[in-house]
């Protein structure tokens, strides 16, 4: 076992790379909030867009990164790695780095250099050493006395170590009795309550949407995008990654029904067979997903076709008081391959790049706080949880819910029942207390 000189050290390190934003800092805004010249804003947007595209090339921050491609002359190893999503492989490599740091003797708070880990192997490793690694992580505590690593995190470490051993032709340590028993003991003795996202119910959603001002010239683009993002997430019961992967070509209006959204790939569809979610028309224009689709589409098309002036002209006539889902998408068209949910610049302009799954959670939390719904518990999953909660309260069956959520196992829905609707289908409601 490797040790890095002196006392035994253990730990992990944050691998996020801080990249300086190349965009210039805008001058102080004037009375109308747009003192920066159009030329300065355009230059900044070109710089930001180029930077985002560069990140997409290396697989960072790109919703489309879930689509796996291999060259025409790919080796068996490349095809084997393509069996997992890029996000899973990145997570495994990050976890293996923690194991390598442990083997090198680094403590949690210590920073390691790549050169210090070059000679540290993560496969093959004796199962007894893996068991010691797991026990060390299970015993680690935070300054306040709480557990530093949850059993789920430790289980993920085993999955990463097993993956590394399997791909190199070695027996995975997780299949051995010592590792299996240690992991089982950690789960039994170190279990912690799972923090669930607060469900955004229909009433909470309506309250939140009514506080979003889609007519504001400064923040109208962001407001219109967030309005559609929240509605899509709730009505379609989307996962965050599914929302951010949607392109213009994936969405179409069907007269009398609403918007059909094709989910090309998802957590439960890694092979990319694809399924369609139906976003039905709402009686209220504020909560009508097809209306939100039309508003956002036409606003982005106005900016892309006529620039900043086109965006502001479209915002001047915006509103949520009437239905627009029957008005059509207008004469301007967006490229089919363009992300539908696009990033918005600090100057309130749509960028060419899509948002990340993290942005969905931030938007939900930001809009919920602005609506006075509290600070804690909101995340991107709140929309999906809210849909299941409302569906259960309305008496929907497992099959009906799964047709929209695309869960593959009805047992998963029982988690939502326990956490969000404990009185639904509960015998206690039949008792005359």
Same domain, 216 and 359: yes
- On the question of pLDDT at 11 being above 60, the answer is no
- Looking at the chain, the whole-number percentage of residues with pLDDT higher than 90 is 61
Report yes or no on 106 lying in a domain: yes
Number of domains observed in the structure of the chain: 2
Query: What pLDDT sits at residue 40?
Result: 59
Same domain, 139 and 261: no
Whole-number Å distance between alpha carbons of 16 and 90: 12
What is the b/e burial string over 359-391, where b = at least 16 CB atoms within 10 angstroms of the residue's CB?
Answer: bbbebbbebbeebebeeeebbbbbbbbbbbbbb
pLDDT band at 46 (very low <50, low <70, confident <90, very high): low
Weakest mean pLDDT among 9-23, 261-275, 416-430: 9-23
pTM of the model: 0.71
- pLDDT tens-digit map of 122-136: 999 999 999 999 999
Report yes or no on 42 lying in a domain: no
Last residue of a domain, one of 157, 189, 221: 189
- pLDDT tens-digit map of 188-228: 998 877 778 899 999 999 999 999 999 998 899 999 999 99
Rounded (10°) CA dihedral 186, 187, 189, 191 = 130
Weakest mean pLDDT among 62-66, 229-233, 352-356: 62-66
Query: What pLDDT sits at residue 161?
Result: 97
**Angle (CA) 365 109 128, round 5°:** 105
Whole-number Å distance between alpha carbons of 241 and 383: 13
Query: What pLDDT sits at residue 373?
Result: 96
Judged by DSSP in three states, 43 sits in helix
Query: What pLDDT sits at residue 231?
Result: 97
Same domain, 250 and 161: no
Query: What pLDDT sits at residue 162?
Result: 96
Same domain, 182 and 253: no
Q: Which uninterrupted H or E stretch holds 382?
A: helix 381-393
Report yes or no on 411 lying in a domain: no
Same domain, 273 and 125: no
Report yes or no on 384 lying in a domain: no
- On the question of pLDDT at 351 being above 90, the answer is yes
Give the residue with greater pLDDT, 428 vs 5. Answer: 428
Mean pLDDT of the chain: 84
Q: Which of 21, 34, 47 shows the shortest CA–CA distance to 311?
A: 34
- pLDDT tens-digit map of 289-300: 999 999 999 999
Query: What pLDDT sits at residue 192?
Result: 77
Q: Which two tokens stand for residue 84?
A: 């997992």
Report yes or no on 423 lying in a domain: no
Last residue of a domain, one of 142, 166, 189: 189
Whole-number Å distance between alpha carbons of 248 and 326: 18
Q: Find the CATH number of the domain harbouring 289.
A: 1.10.443.10
Where in the sequence is the domain holding 143, given as residue range(s)?
A: 76-189
Query: What pLDDT sits at residue 433?
Result: 85
Same domain, 103 and 210: no
Report yes or no on 287 lying in a domain: yes
Query: What pLDDT sits at residue 109?
Result: 84
Same domain, 234 and 346: yes
Report yes or no on 118 lying in a domain: yes
Query: What pLDDT sits at residue 78?
Result: 77
Mean pLDDT of the region 404-431: 84
Same domain, 277 and 159: no
How is residue 195 annotated by DSSP? -
The DSSP secondary structure of 263-315, one letter per residue, reads E-SBTTBTT---EEEEEE--SSGGG-HHHHHHHHHHHHHHHHHHHHHHHHHHH
CA 49, chain centre distance (Å):
21
Query: What pLDDT sits at residue 66?
Result: 45
Q: Find the CATH number of the domain harbouring 127.
A: 1.10.150.130
Query: What pLDDT sits at residue 127?
Result: 97
No. of helices (H) and no. of strands (E), the chain: 15, 5
Query: What pLDDT sits at residue 269?
Result: 65
Judged by DSSP in three states, 351 sits in strand
- On the question of pLDDT at 313 being above 80, the answer is yes
- pLDDT tens-digit map of 66-84: 456 778 788 887 787 777 7
Query: What pLDDT sits at residue 412?
Result: 84
Mean pLDDT of the region 144-166: 93
Report yes or no on 415 lying in a domain: no
Last residue of a domain, one of 367, 390, 422: 367
Same domain, 141 and 274: no
- On the question of pLDDT at 54 being above 60, the answer is no
Same domain, 166 and 248: no
Q: Which two tokens stand for residue 49?
A: 């867009």
Same domain, 182 and 208: no
Query: What pLDDT sits at residue 89?
Result: 87
Same domain, 153 and 240: no
């Amino acid at each position: 076992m490797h040790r890095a000189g002196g006392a035994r050290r253990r730990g992990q390190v944050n691998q996020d790379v801080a990249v300086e934003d190349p965009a210039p800092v805008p001058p102080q805004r004037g009375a109308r909030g747009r003192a920066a010249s159009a030329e300065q804003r355009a230059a900044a947007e070109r710089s930001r867009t180029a930077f985002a595209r560069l990140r997409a090339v290396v697989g960072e921050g790109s919703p489309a990164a879930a689509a796996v491609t291999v060259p025409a002359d790919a080796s068996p190893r490349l095809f084997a790695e393509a069996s997992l999503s890029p996000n899973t492989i990145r997570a495994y490599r990050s976890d293996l780095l923690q194991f390598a740091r442990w083997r090198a003797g680094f403590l949690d708070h210590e920073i390691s250099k790549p050169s210090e880990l070059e000679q540290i192997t993560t496969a093959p490793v004796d199962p007894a050493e893996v068991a010691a690694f797991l026990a060390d992580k299970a015993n680690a505590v935070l300054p306040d006395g709480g557990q530093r690593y949850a059993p789920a995190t430790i289980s993920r470490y085993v999955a990463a170590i097993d993956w590394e051993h399997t791909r190199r032709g070695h027996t995975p340590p997780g299949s051995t009795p010592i590792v299996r028993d240690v992991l089982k003991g950690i789960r039994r003795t170190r279990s912690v309550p799972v923090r669930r996202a607060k469900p955004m119910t229909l009433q909470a959603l309506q309250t939140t949407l009514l506080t979003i001002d889609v007519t504001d010239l400064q923040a109208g683009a962001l407001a219109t995008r967030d309005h559609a993002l929240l509605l899509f997430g709730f009505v379609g019961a989307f996962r965050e990654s599914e929302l951010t992967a949607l392109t213009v070509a994936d969405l179409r209006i069907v007269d009398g029904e609403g918007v059909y959204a094709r989910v090309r790939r998802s957590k439960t569809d890694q092979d990319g067979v694809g399924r369609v979610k139906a976003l039905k028309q709402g009686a209220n224009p504020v909560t009508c997903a097809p209306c939100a689709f039309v508003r956002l589409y036409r606003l982005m098309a106005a900016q892309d076709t006529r620039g900043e002036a086109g965006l502001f002209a479209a915002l001047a006539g915006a509103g949520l008081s009437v239905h627009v889902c029957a008005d059509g998408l207008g004469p301007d068209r967006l490229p089919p391959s363009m992300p539908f949910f696009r990033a918005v610049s600090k100057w309130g302009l749509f960028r060419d790049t899509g948002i990340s799954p993290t942005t969905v959670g931030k938007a939900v939390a930001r809009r919920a706080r602005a609506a006075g719904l509290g600070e804690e518990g909101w995340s991107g999953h709140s929309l999906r949880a809210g849909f299941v909660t409302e569906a259960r309260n309305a008496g929907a069956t497992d099959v009906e819910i799964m047709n929209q959520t695309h869960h593959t196992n009805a047992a998963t829905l029982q988690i939502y029942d326990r956490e969000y609707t404990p009185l639904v289908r509960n015998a206690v409601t039949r008792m005359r207390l």
